[in-house]
Amino acid sequence: MHHGGGGGAIRVLNVAEKPSVAKSVAEILSRPSGGMRSREGRSRYNRVFEFDYSIGGRACHMLVTSVTGHLMELEFDDRFRRWHSCDPADLFHAPVRKSVPQDKQDIKRTLEEEARKCQWLVLWLDCDREGENIAYEVIDICAGANSRLNIWRARFSALIDREIHEAVQHLDRPNKLFADAVDARQEIDLRIGASFTRFQTMLLKDAFVLDDTGDDRNIILSYGPCQFPTLGFIVERFWEIQAHEPEEFWTINCSHTSDEGTASFGWIRGHLFDYSSAVVIYEMCVEEPMATVQNVRNQEKLKYPPYPLSTIELQKRASRYFRMSSEHTMKVAEELYQAGFISYPRTETDNFSPNTDLHSIVHEQVAHPNWGTYAQRLLDPEARLWRNPSNGGHDDKAHPPIHPTKFSAGETNWTDNHKKLYELVVRHFLACCSQPAVGAETTVEIDIAGEQFNASGRVVLAKNYLDVYRFDSWGGTLLPTYIIGQQFVPTTLTLDSGMTRPPPLLAEADLLGIGTDATMHDHIKKLLDRCYATKDANTRFSPTNLGEALVMGYDEMGYELWKPYLRSMMEADMKSVSIGTKSKSEVLENCLQQMKACFLDARANKVKLFDAMGTFFARSSRPVNETQNSIETVRPCAACNESEMFLKQRPTGEFMVGCRGFPQCRNVVWLPRSLSGAAVTDQVCPTCAPGPVYKIQFKFRRRDIPPNFDVDHLGCIGGCDDILKELMELSRFGSHSQTATPARNQSQTASGVRQGSSRQDLHTSFHPAVQFTNGQTPVVNPQGFRSTHTQSSGNASGQVQCTSCREPCVLRTANTEANRGRKFYKCQNLACGFFAWEDDVENSAPRGRGGRGRGGRSSSRQSSASASAGRRGGTQGRGRRGRGRNADGMMFVAATGEPVYGSCFICGDPTHFANVCPNLGR
């Protein structure tokens, strides 16, 4: 290591990952010189320690402070952080940034102020990928304040004098590849987690009554790339248990008692499921019960000690031996590490380096009252108990296996769990340095009437590592002496029955064994916090209805997002980044492209999630303004040119495509009520503009459309799809008796169906829609109302009567530029919304598309369109007058190319809405 030239003491800023680690490092390094001083930084939790020290013979003035884990957070830009600000699919490519959150600004200021006065920066972060990533966050802050800093990395695995002094005298450079690997993982997890979480939550939360989560309306249905596969293991085992059908079986057992003891012999066949066959064989044995010894095998058996202790193995064994949760195990282990009693507890390594002085570690335990005698025997060459630890085959290149670093007979501030975990670490370390246990095993095979039986017995000759590792046992029974050819009559010979049993629920130790992720305990805790799973007193897990429904929904889609394969591939890519065989950008591009395709397919098949949720939960009856379903972008809004149009299903079941800028922009397209489903696809219309305009997969109800049309149609609402236009008009007209929106004084069921509707009406209503000639398309009521308004709608005095309310209309004058001075009739009941131009009522002459001349059915339907459109109120769309306008002047064309109906509720003019009415405020 080159320290650089120049005279005088070097000011060195040392930064640790936690305040407790900073204090330990400062105390260890300051002992030779003494005189350590402490002062507060900008953050009262992160103090600054000062003392003099010598690095490589160079005088240094050391300043030691700390961060508290990650200093920065990765997040989306502000415009994408609100849940309804964008399509969740946009989160796969939305801009992200890393910044210091508000609660850590004081730590940032401390680093900046101290860095400006220093020449060196030494990073004491944990020596794994995560620690390296935090190191580069610190570098970013400090180098921003002082670009001349000489940056070094201290590598250590235990907070003990030997390791700390060794680390500071052999400083290294930070590893950017490790930091890049974590950056890639963070970005992948953020994008995948945020997109799927928003999708699931907005789609399902308010649509169902989630009794698993209580009455919490703020529940988040989260999705995590690690958390969800963990849930998948629980659900898969639960399904295996549910699918298990107990089956009765039969087996033959016999025993023989002599002066030396009793031997129990088991049937070589194990068991039979056919009762008759089992009875026949049993009767043969009863008729000829003489047993003949055919073989006696005696052999030496070895039981090997465990591999050195990794994080996953520590969690599994603490769960199995002490019933400690993985989360609590890691909390206690971190406290023991920070106090200097064990090495760094987050490691995947299960083999010791040849340079590790194992004997010194053992020697520190000789004074312990419980295992000190064993440690002394282990160091005694004459006892021949020592054996170098086996290689488990895993090495994360960052930390050694977990081992004791300082002797303790139990500290006064330790809890029982601290004592248990420290004991486990010490005994495990002593065991893995020991000889295996030695036993003698005897197997006796006998024959009864041609059927084979055997019995086994074992005696432990040398316990070796079992003397110290009290958590392991190696039991066995001692058999009587038998010789080949010996004959005897069994003491008992029975035909026993039993039932096959399902596999057990997964225990926490089982879940911890599914991977090598040292943060597995976090995934398990999230499953419990999110109400996806429950854990009983024996630490065995069961999925909740919510957890099972989510896994079932994705499983029905055919995408195994709940399986560990995708995450395994991601972890392999992260490792490739850390060793430099793949770039961060390459991994991000490939992984996010794959997962976005999964997301789009999942969204297109969201009905599977709905069906799965419907299996477990009742549908919600929450008010409209409290229900928010999934948002799927269809196209840019051409009305406001600032936002996007999105597909949404209302709680009543209706589909609409509206602008996200509502209420500032009221551009909307109401889709026909004959739809049973609609989903935005990733297919873009090549002709419609402004684009992109994404096509929608429509599903119509068969009863509401003519038989010559398919119920499934991939269509575009941009105006280019003639089939969709015809289907929309036919379905609107044909489904009137079921889906018409009644006036406020009419009775209506919760689903929006008018009382008294009959299925016969639905079928007979098709006749006018399909009996057209000359290829003409009729002008139909867009909501399916059958109008009774004709040329003779007025009363005897010539007053026009509202066709719905049967009340006289008022005559008003339009005040817009296009229709200034033109008169129209308007119902006095604002909730009704009947509207008709005066000259149209007088002439009854249709002038729009599809007209058949003066008078007749077309005119009647056009007037009906005016009346029924008014019932929808004036908030259906901003619109503008354009092509295809009817003779009554009330049809407008939205940005989608479809007509939009409505009128101003202040003056009744259909060419504008109330928010821009010239009569507003008069």
Q: Give the list of residues 6+ apart from residue 906 with CB closer than 8 angstroms, or none.
A: 914, 917, 919, 920
3-state secondary structure 441-467: EEEEEEEECCEEEEEEEEEEEECHHHH
Inter-residue contact 224 to 189 (CB < 8 Å)? yes
Distance between CA 324 and CA 321 in Å, rounded? 8
State yes or no: cis peptide before 663, omega within 30 of 0: yes
Contact call for residues 881 and 869 (beta carbons, < 8 A)? no
What DSSP designation does 88 have?
Answer: G
Helix (H, G, I), strand (E, B) or coil at 510: helix
**Ramachandran region of residue 378, left (φ > 0), alpha (ψ -120 to 50) or beta?**
alpha
Q: Do residues 675 and 701 lie in contact, with contact meaning Cβ atoms separated by under 8 Å?
A: yes
- Residue 346 vs residues 100, 104, 158, 315, 518: alpha-carbon distances, Å: 25, 25, 12, 11, 6
- Length of the chain in residues, anyone? 922
| Selected catalytic residue, list 136, 282, 344, 554 | 344
| Stretch (H or E) spanning 524 | helix 520-529
Rounded Cα–Cα distance for residues 546 and 212 (Å): 7
Q: Which two tokens stand for residue 871?
A: 């019932």
Instruction: Give the CA count within 13 Å in the CB-facing half-sphere of 668.
Output: 24
Name the token pair of 352. Answer: 């010791």
Strand, coil or helix: what is 114?
Answer: helix
Q: Show the beta-strand stretches assigned E in 701-859.
A: 712-715, 810-813, 823-826, 835-837
Q: Which two tokens stand for residue 328?
A: 């609590």
Spatial contact of 343 and 157, defined as CB atoms under 8 Å apart? yes
Quick check: is 422 catalytic? no
Calculate the CA 782 to chain-centre distance: 42
Helix ranges (DSSP H) in 765-922:
767-770, 838-843, 856-871
Tokens of 175: 């590893």
Query: ∠ CA(520), CA(522), CA(524), 5° rounding?
Result: 75
For 823-832, letters b (16+ CB in 10 Å) and e give: ebbbbebeeb
CA–CA separation, 130 vs 119, rounded Å? 26
User: In whole angstroms, what is the distance from residue 536 CA to residue 675 CA?
Assistant: 45
Give alpha helix (H) positions in 657-766.
722-734, 736-739, 759-764
690 prior amide bond cis, ω within 30 = yes
The angle at the Cα of 382, spanning 378 to 385, to the nearest 5 degrees, equals: 35
- Joined together, the tokens standing for residue 692 give 């992109």
* C-beta of residue 52 within 8 angstroms of C-beta of residue 60: yes
State how far the Cα of 401 lies from the Cα of 306, in Å rounded to an integer: 12
Examine residue 95 and say whether the peptide bond preceding it is cis (omega within 30 degrees of 0).
no
**What are the residue numbers of the active site?**
344
